[in-house]
């Protein structure tokens, strides 16, 4: 069994923290809580079309504003726009019930902004996970021109990516799962490289613990990259 830390409440589901007094989904989210989210988060293309309740939307917007401020990247939340997902590219798969999306945009010539969009976007994905929301990174599988138009993106900017967000299609079942159940589900549906293949250098007894932990994390993004986890381990 996992030791209790982060947002896990004794003898309850992983998402019982939503009613725990110490829970706050703001930028004060602790490092251990982020690691918990990494350990259970899976990408979802199946949602309910329900509107996200006001309290969670308020917290989500607070985090979106914080990520925009920290990164310099524009984060825009679009609620109840299922038309964005109505014409998906077949090779990328379809979305079911998706209606809400977070748009990440900025100067296409600013490569640092593109990198920050990925990092802070993933930080937002993990925060949404802690709120009990389903997420999925979206690139060219939707009409980005339509998305940019609805979001009123500055014509001089480009959409780097988007994040579908909402309730799981089986929300009640997900909320009732324990941390261990969600962690096991993730491991059954993900693959990751062994440390011997992933490491850029030989591992030894002197290898920092944060480096080992980062490489043990499972892929987070649509490109199935474990390297992003290294920054997640270093930066709270």
Domains of the chain by residue range: 14-189, 192-236
- Residue 165 parent element (H or E): strand 158-166
Strands (E), 19-114: 74-78, 101-106
CATH of 14-189, one of 3.40.109.10, 1.10.1040.10, 3.40.50.300, 3.10.620.30: 3.40.109.10
pLDDT in tens, 81-106: 999 988 766 556 688 899 999 999 99
Reading the block at residue 230, the tokens are 């290294």
Question: How far apart are the two ends of the chain, measured CA to CA in Å?
Answer: 25
Length of the chain: 236
Provide the pLDDT for residue 169. Answer: 84
CB atoms within 10 A of CB 204: 6
Reading the block at residue 8, the tokens are 């896990």
Do the bridges between strand 101-106 and strand 134-138 make them parallel or antiparallel, or are there none, so unpaired? unpaired
pTM of the predicted model as reported, rounded to 2 decimal places: 0.71
- Write down the residue that tokens 């999306």 correspond to: 101
pLDDT tens, N- to C-terminus, the chain (236 residues): 333 333 344 334 555 544 333 334 444 456 677 777 777 777 788 898 889 999 999 999 999 999 999 999 999 999 999 999 887 665 566 888 999 999 999 998 888 998 899 999 999 999 998 888 999 998 778 888 899 999 999 999 999 999 999 998 877 777 776 666 666 666 666 655 555 555 555 666 676 665 666 555 544 444 444 334 434 443 44
- Write down the residue that tokens 């997420």 correspond to: 135
């Amino acid at each position: 069994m996992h030791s209790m830390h982060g947002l896990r409440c004794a003898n309850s589901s992983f998402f019982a923290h939503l009613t725990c007094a110490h829970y706050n989904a703001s930028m004060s989210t602790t490092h251990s809580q982020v690691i918990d989210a990494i350990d259970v988060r899976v990408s979802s293309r199946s949602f309910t079309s329900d509107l996200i309740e006001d309290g969670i939307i308020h917290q989500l917007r607070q985090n979106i504003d914080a990520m925009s401020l920290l990164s310099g990247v524009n984060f825009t939340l679009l609620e109840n726009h299922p038309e964005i997902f109505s014409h998906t590219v077949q090779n990328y798969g379809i979305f079911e019930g998706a209606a809400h999306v977070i748009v990440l945009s900025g100067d296409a010539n600013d490569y640092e902004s593109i990198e920050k969009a990925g990092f802070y976007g993933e930080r937002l994905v993990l925060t949404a996970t802690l709120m009990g929301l389903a997420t999925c990174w979206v690139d060219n599988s939707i009409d980005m021109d339509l998305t940019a138009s609805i979001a009123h993106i500055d014509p001089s900017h480009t959409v780097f990516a988007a994040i579908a967000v909402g309730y799981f299609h089986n929300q009640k079942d997900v909320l009732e799962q324990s941390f261990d159940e969600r962690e096991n589900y993730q491991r059954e549906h993900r693959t990751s490289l062994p440390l011997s293949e992933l490491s850029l250098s030989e591992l030894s007894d002197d290898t920092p613990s944060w480096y080992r932990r980062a490489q043990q994390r499972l892929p987070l993004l649509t490109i199935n990259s474990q390297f992003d986890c290294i920054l997640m381990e270093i930066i709270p």
